[in-house]
Structures are given as C-alpha cells and as structure tokens.
C-alpha cells in the first residue's frame, strides 16, 4: 500500500477537526475524498503534507512511518500537494513559480518538468515572464497544478482544484486529472464537485465532521442514496 | 547648488547608505518571519567592535573585516537557533520581545568582552578629504557608498537570480505554499538571521572610522535603520534603500539648515508620521490581514 492512514486525529486548539481517520491509497489509484464544508478535508490533506499538527494516529508511506516527518522530507519522498485556493507566489514570475516547485529536484529534472508543464498548459508558456498574481483564476489553478507536477509527485494531493472556476475550465482541470491518472500518477483528490470527483475516481471516502462515514468505489457511491441526497443534490 | 548644500547632500548620502544597510537587515528577517528584530543594531555594534579588536591584535583590514562580519553572522545564527527557534509557534509579539531581550543581553556582553569606551577605527585608505564641487568628502565616505552599492547589487542578484534567494522570497509571500514546494522554511529563517547580521556588521564596520564605535552604538543606528525600513515599507528591499537614503539626507539637511539639536529627532518624527499616515510605507505591501 502506498499510503496508509490509521486513526489520524488533529485539533485546532481544543477543537477536534479529525477524529480517527482510517484510509489507504494504493499505487496508481485515484481516490476521491468527498464531504461538506468543514468536514475536515483540507485539514486531512494538510496533515498528510506535514503542515498541520497531528494529535493521534499514524501515517505510513511505502510502509515507512512518516507521521512526524517534516514537510520538505515528504515532498522529497514524492508526496506533493496542490493546495486549496491556488496559493501561487504572486509577485514572482510564472516560470519562477514552476522552478520553485522543483526546489528539491535537480536542474535537469526541473528543465524537463518545465517543458512538460508548458506542453500541458501552453498558456503558461505565453505568460512565463509575467507575475503569477496577474494571471486569471483558471490560469493560476493551472500554474498551481504545474508547480505541483514540477516536484515529480508519486502521490499527488489535489485540494479543490476546480473551486471557483468556470464550467469549461473545470472540464479542463478534470481532463488534466484523467491524463495524470492515465500516466499512472497516484492521486488523492478532494473536490466539492462531488459528481465529477466520484465519476473520475477508482474509490472514494465520504468525510463528515472529522470521520470517514462511507467508502466504496466511485461508481458505488454515485448510486448511494445517502450520497445522492447529501452531495449530489438529487 | 551651493557648496553648503552639496556638502550636506554628500554627508546625507553617506549616513543614508549606512541606514539602508541596517534597514535591509530588518526587512530580510521581517520577510522570513514577520518579526521585527530589535537586536539588528547589536549586529552593527559587533561588526565595528570586533574589527577594532582584530585590528588591535595586529590583523590587516583585509582579514579583520571578513572575520568580524563572520563573527556577527555567527551571533545572528546563534540568536535564531537558541532564542527564536525554541519559541517557534509563539506569537510575533513574543518573538519581538525576545529580540529586545537579546539586544540588551548582547549589549551587556559587549561591555564585558570589550569596555564602555569609544573606539576609533582608522579609515580604510587615508583621511585626506577630496573636494567635489566646493564640498569635501572623506575617502571613507566613498568606501561607504561603494560597498553599500556593491552589497545592494549582490542582494538583488541573490534574490532575483538564485534558487535559494527566490525560495526565501517565496517563503515571505506564501509560507504554506513554500512548505508544500519542499522549501525548508525553518532553514530560511535561520539563513535570514545570518544574512541580516552580516549586513548589519558591514554597516558597523564602514561607519566606525567616521563616527567611532562603542558597545551601545547599535541602539541609535538600530532605531535609525528601523525608521528607514518603516519609511520605505517593511519587507521591501527597494524601500529599505530609498528609506535609508531619504532619512540620511533629511537628517543632515535639518541638522545643517535648522539645528543639529534636532538631528536625531527627525528619525522619530518619521517613525510616528509613517505609523499615523502611511503604515505600509512607500513600497510596502498594502492591505491588512489575509484571512
């Protein structure tokens, strides 16, 4: 198993945000995490990246315990997150943003990575000298994805990649997710667009107030009455 | 331009360059941590005093200066490691108070290692004044201006061209994203203390032949540098340089045309005016808290 999470807990002050999460992601899988606002999706992803303190439980990656590993060590192992809200380095150029994504990779890997990202998102190449903050929301999301890919992820954590985007751009982002899956990148995807996320996922977990309440294949959950009612608006 | 005006301008530029170096030190640490390091002035003092000691034991300038800068940088790194790092997670105000404590501690230590007297450092290359347009300038002032220019160019190369420099900038703009890109933000903070301390020491060494140095020289120079950084906009490199030069020139002009009694008051008037009317300074980031 690539990623195994056991009884993971996390608190904001005294308020629990995660109450014993168990889940796993296998090599090459695309696993989705669905849940309402405040269910703890972002907290979980941040805990996996090591930027959110963990109060209980264990995280294993390739069998090795990384519960206490520093964020940069996890990136080195290949756990890379594209954070919610894009979080690009606004005043830095598009190319510098991408280059920093490969901060822990070699010069040659970075140069290859930049070409790959430009091939995937040609608009970024056009704008490569411009400050990232001047890009549109959709372009910033592409840049955030590109910056994540620069780190050569083995496990890509995507937090709300389609949030706030026009439908056409949402389709483009999901096309990119499918392409990454086809290229056998392991992906753990959080998205409020539950229908699109479940449709593209091999398996999925449903999170409610810090607990996993349901799990199954994407197709199963799409048919689940509870899920339909709560997250698909049917 | 009258010779008198030129004279004030040259003096102002010299002092301003020193303020700019100190202000850059403030900005670099502020960028890495949002902390205003009130021990910045002590790095200036350590630079000057260490050079005085090393010259006294017979070292040439060429050796004494790099050693003194390295000593100050080590103190800066130690300050981060032993005073700031253990308080990780504490509020910014707590960290600022820690730096105030550190500055008092370092001043006290300096009176033990050295003494409470004033020390003069010989100018780097003679003291025969050079006449420019009716005004005179000391060779040491040319050193101040030249070295400051070189330092500013080196810094802009570092932050604009090197991956580590860009990583430090990225950390100041978005700490979370920097962590997720694999940048070790604790290392960035550590390095910024070393870099700031080195900059402060350079300022202290350059100015020592003109104004003399002593254990408490950092108090006033630190405050002036802080005023310059505030005026330019805390965290902005360009702002630190512009703020420093502007403060230096304003100071000497008011000392020359009004009264030298008000010279030091200018810096405080500027701090107050900036805080009241323009809290983000000339080139600082606009806007309030990001939620």
From the centroid of its chain, how far is CA B239? 13
Render pLDDT for A47-72 as a digit per residue (tens, 0 to 9): 999 999 999 999 999 999 999 999 99
Instruction: Search chain A and give the residue with CA nearest B181.
Output: A101
| A88 in Cβ contact with A123 (< 8 Å) | no
Residue B221 lies in a domain: yes
Query: Is residue A41 predicted with pLDDT exceeding 80?
Result: yes
Query: Hey, are the CB atoms on B180 and A96 less than 8 Å from each other?
Result: no
Longest CA span, chain B: 58
Instruction: Note whether B238 contacts A: Cβ–Cβ < 8 A.
Output: no
Render pLDDT for A163-173 as a digit per residue (tens, 0 to 9): 888 999 899 89
Rounded Cα gap, residues B83 and B99, in angstroms: 8
Residue B278 lies in a domain: no
Instruction: Note whether A88 contacts B: Cβ–Cβ < 8 A.
Output: yes
Rounded Cα gap, residues A117 and A109, in angstroms: 12
Residue B107 lies in a domain: yes
Q: Which of A88, A96, A151 sits opposite B182 (nearest CB)?
A: A151
* Partner B, chain A 35-54, Cβ-Cβ below 8 Å: 49-51
**pLDDT given at position B185:** 94
SS3 B113: helix
Rounded Cα gap, residues B220 and B204, in angstroms: 12
State which residues of chain B have pLDDT below 50.
288-291
Rounded Cα gap, residues A211 and A137, in angstroms: 31
Residue B284 lies in a domain: no
Residue A105 is classified by DSSP as: S
* Chain A neighbors of B177, CB-CB under 8 A: 83, 87-89
Instruction: Note whether A69 contacts B: Cβ–Cβ < 8 A.
Output: no
**pLDDT given at position A226:** 86
What are the tokens at A30?
Answer: 């695309």
What are the tokens at B137?
Answer: 């300038």
Instruction: Note whether A113 contacts B: Cβ–Cβ < 8 A.
Output: no
Predicted TM-score (pTM) of the model is 0.90
Instruction: Note whether B189 contacts A: Cβ–Cβ < 8 A.
Output: no
* Chain B neighbors of A151, CB-CB under 8 A: 181-182
Instruction: Search chain A and give the residue with CA nearest B174.
Output: A89
Q: How far is CA A54 from CA A83, B32, B68, B183, B225, in A?
A: 18, 25, 43, 20, 41
3-state SS of A69-84? CCHHHHHHHCEEEECC
Query: Hey, are the CB atoms on B183 and A103 less than 8 Å from each other?
Result: yes
Q: How many A-B residue pairs are in contact by the CB < 8 A criterion? A: 65
Instruction: Note whether B128 contacts A: Cβ–Cβ < 8 A.
Output: no
For residue B150, the distance in angstroms to the closest alpha carbon of chain A comes to 24
Residue B201 lies in a domain: yes
Query: Hey, are the CB atoms on A81 and B180 less than 8 Å from each other?
Result: yes
**pLDDT given at position A234:** 64
Residues near B142 by beta carbon (within 8 Å), at least 6 away in sequence: B130
What is the CB neighbour count within 10 angstroms for residue A13? 6
Domain span at B87 = 2-126+134-269
Rounded Cα gap, residues B137 and A121, in angstroms: 57
**pLDDT given at position B290:** 41
B162, B167, B169, B181: which to substitute to probe chain A, counting the most A Cβ within 10 Å? B181
**pLDDT given at position B291:** 38
Instruction: Search chain A and give the residue with CA nearest B165.
Output: A100
Query: Hey, are the CB atoms on B169 and A104 less than 8 Å from each other?
Result: no
Residue ranges of the alpha helices (H) in B162-262? Answer: 163-173, 175-180, 185-211, 217-232, 237-257
For residue B5, the distance in angstroms to the closest alpha carbon of chain A comes to 39
Rounded Cα gap, residues B82 and B90, in angstroms: 14
Instruction: Search chain B and give the residue with CA nearest A148.
Output: B181
| A207 in Cβ contact with A33 (< 8 Å) | yes
Residue B49 lies in a domain: yes
Residues near A6 by beta carbon (within 8 Å), at least 6 away in sequence: A22, A57, A58, A59, A60
Rounded Cα gap, residues A211 and A17, in angstroms: 9
The number of distinct structural domains making up chain B is 1
Sign of CA dihedral B232, B179, A182, A214: negative
| B29 in Cβ contact with B240 (< 8 Å) | no
Render pLDDT for A103-157 as a digit per residue (tens, 0 to 9): 999 999 999 999 999 999 999 999 999 999 999 999 999 999 999 999 999 999 9
Rounded Cα gap, residues A56 and A10, in angstroms: 7
What are the tokens at B236?
Answer: 């902005």
Residues near A97 by beta carbon (within 8 Å), at least 6 away in sequence: A88, A89, A132, A143, A146, A147
Query: Is residue A181 predicted with pLDDT exceeding 60?
Result: yes
């Amino acid at each position: 198993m690539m990623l195994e999470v056991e009884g993971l807990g996390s608190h904001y002050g005294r308020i629990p945000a995660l109450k014993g999460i168990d889940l796993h992601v296998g090599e090459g899988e695309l696993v989705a995490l669905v849940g309402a606002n405040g269910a703890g999706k972002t907290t979980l992803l941040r805990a996996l990246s090591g930027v959110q303190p963990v109060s209980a439980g264990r995280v294993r990656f390739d069998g090795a315990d990384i519960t206490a590993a520093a964020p940069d060590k996890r990136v080195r192992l290949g756990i890379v997150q594209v954070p919610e809200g894009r979080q690009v380095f606004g005043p830095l150029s598009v190319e510098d943003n991408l280059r920093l994504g490969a901060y822990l990779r070699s010069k040659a890997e970075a140069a290859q990575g930049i070409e790959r990202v430009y091939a995937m998102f040609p608009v970024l190449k056009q704008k490569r000298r411009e400050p990232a903050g001047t890009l549109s929301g959709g372009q910033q999301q592409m840049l955030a994805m590109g910056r994540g890919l620069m780190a050569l992820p083995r496990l890509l954590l995507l937090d709300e990649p389609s949030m706030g985007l026009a439908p056409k751009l949402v389709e483009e982002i999901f096309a990119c997710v499918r392409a990454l899956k086809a290229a056998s990148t392991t992906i753990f995807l959080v998205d409020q667009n539950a229908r699109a996320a479940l449709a593209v996922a091999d398996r999925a977990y449903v999170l409610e107030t810090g607990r996993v309440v349901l799990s199954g294949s994407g197709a199963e959950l799409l048919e689940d009455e509870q899920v339909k009612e709560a997250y698909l608006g049917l | 331009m009258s010779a008198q005006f030129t004279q004030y301008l040259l003096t102002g530029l010299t002092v301003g360059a020193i303020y700019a170096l100190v202000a850059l030190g403030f900005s670099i640490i502020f960028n890495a941590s949002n902390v205003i390091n009130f021990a910045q002035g002590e790095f200036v003092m350590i630079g000057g005093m260490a050079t005085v000691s090393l010259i006294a034991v017979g070292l040439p300038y060429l050796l004494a200066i790099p050693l003194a800068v390295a000593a100050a940088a080590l103190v800066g790194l130690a300050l981060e490691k032993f005073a700031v790092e253990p308080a990780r997670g504490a509020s910014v105000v707590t960290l600022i108070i820690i730096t105030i404590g550190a500055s008092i501690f370092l001043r006290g230590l300096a009176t033990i290692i050295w003494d409470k007297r004033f020390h003069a450092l010989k100018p780097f290359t003679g003291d025969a004044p050079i006449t420019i347009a009716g005004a005179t300038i000391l060779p040491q002032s040319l050193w101040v201006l030249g070295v400051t220019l070189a330092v500013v160019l080196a810094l802009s190369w570092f932050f604009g061209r090197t991956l580590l420099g860009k990583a430090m900038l990225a950390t100041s703009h978005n700490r979370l994203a920097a962590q997720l890109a694999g940048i070790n933000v604790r290392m960035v903070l550590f390095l910024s203390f070393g870099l700031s301390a080195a900059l402060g020491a350079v300022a202290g060494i350059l100015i020592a032949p003109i104004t003399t140095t002593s254990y408490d020289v950092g108090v006033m120079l630190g405050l002036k540098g802080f005023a310059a950084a505030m005026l330019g906009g805390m965290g902005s490199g360009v702002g630190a340089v512009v703020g420093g030069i502007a403060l230096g020139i304003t100071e000497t002009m008011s000392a020359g045309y009004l009264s030298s009694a008000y010279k030091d008051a200018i810096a405080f008037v500027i701090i107050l005016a900036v805080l009241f009317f323009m809290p983000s300074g000339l080139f600082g980031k606009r806007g309030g808290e990001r939620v």
